[in-house]
Amino acid sequence: MSHRSIIVLPDDTGKPILDAINAATKTLRIKMFVFSDPDLIKAVIAAKGRGVKIHVMLNPARRDGEEVNAETRKALEKAGIDVKDSNPDFGITHEKSMVVDDETAFIKSLNWATKNLTVTRDYAIITSHKHEVDEVIAGFEADWHRKDFDLGENAHLIWCRGNGRARIAQLIDGAKHHLFVQNERYQDSVIIERLVRAATRGVKVHVMALPPHNLKKEKLVEGVGGLRIMDDVGIKIHKLKGLKLHGKMLLADGSRAIVGSINLAPGSFDDRRELAIEVHDDEIIERLHKIAKHDWENSHPLDLTDEGLFADLEDRKEGSSENLALEVDEKAVKHHKKHHKQ
């Protein structure tokens, strides 16, 4: 019987992923942005040792040129595993997926890095629905063989490049009462506009984001701009306390959710390979609702005033006050620092 379930990190640990790898008997297809966790590397190599056919696709480098997967690639190739760079047609392959024995697919926000298993809020959806598993396989095979892959309106899943922006906008537009959104970055003008429209039609919109100092310097202006636009219309914007936010999750009306790798930024929609899934399963939605409630209760409002931004960015992003046209009073900044922990 087809089934979907959810993994919430770090609560559930990496055990469900390790268990799936250890249970593989035929095939493993792994597509990953960052793959560095030693336990996962060992599990994949052990699977190869017991005769599992394994194909691994790794993003070759980050935007800054850092090759974070080089050592993992060497270890896997030494074990006789087929490894390829991800499809060069995309600026970055940010998708995080795994298919086990052609029967079960994992669609994730998390990288296979130890920190994503232990200290970040992250998610994975596990599906055995054949049409979804087959679609992940088709996307993998297309990228492996450097072929075009765009299912258009026939896609069940959410792909970038492809239907990503439209499907996320559709979920936001369909919300009637409440929207809870967790994402690292809010930079895409279409999605920001949809969230603003939702708020103006009476939807309670709760947004969780990374503090501005976590944004790349070249993305600071649009990132802060997006947050301030939402703040101006009364959207509540918080930063997570205790964990670093890395998951990408939207929950609408406590009935539908999207989980996957997609950041709400133009580059993710238009230049990256990304993958997400929309779910409505009662058990998954109930779990996400509990996590959303917990995370919101364990968060702080982001101070997006000039003084708040200056205090957050000072000494972290040189020139940020000029780039953001911040006009601050030194006394106000000192008062802010005294009463707000960064």
Judging by beta carbons within 10 Å of its beta carbon (0-12, 13-18, 19+), is residue 214 exposed, middle or buried?
middle
Q: How confident is the model at residue 324 (pLDDT cuts 50, 70, 90)?
A: confident
Q: What is the pLDDT of residue 40?
A: 98
pTM listed for this prediction = 0.93
Label residue 229 by pLDDT band (50, 70, 90): very high
What single DSSP character describes residue 20? H
Share of the chain above pLDDT 90, in %: 80
Pairing of strands 82-85, 53-58: parallel
Tokens of 61: 């480098």
Confidence of residue 231 (pLDDT cuts 50, 70, 90): very high
Instruction: Give the tens place of pLDDT for each residue, 111-158.
Output: 999 999 999 999 999 999 999 999 999 999 999 999 999 888 899 999
Both tokens of 89, joined, read 């047609």
- Which pLDDT tens digit goes with each residue over 237-281? 999 999 999 999 999 999 999 999 999 999 999 999 999 999 999
- CA pseudo-torsion sign 261, 262, 267, 271: positive
pLDDT of 318 = 67
- The pLDDT, as a whole number, for residue 214 is 84
- Would you state the pLDDT for residue 312? 80
Which phi and psi angles does 332 have, rounded to 5°?
A: -65, -35
Closest residue by Cα to residue 252 from 304, 199, 178: 178
Quick one: pLDDT at residue 342? Answer: 44
pLDDT given for residue 174 in this prediction: 98
> Is residue 137 within a helix (H) or strand (E), and if so which, with residue range?
helix 130-144
Q: What's the chain's average pLDDT?
A: 93
pLDDT at 39 over 80: yes
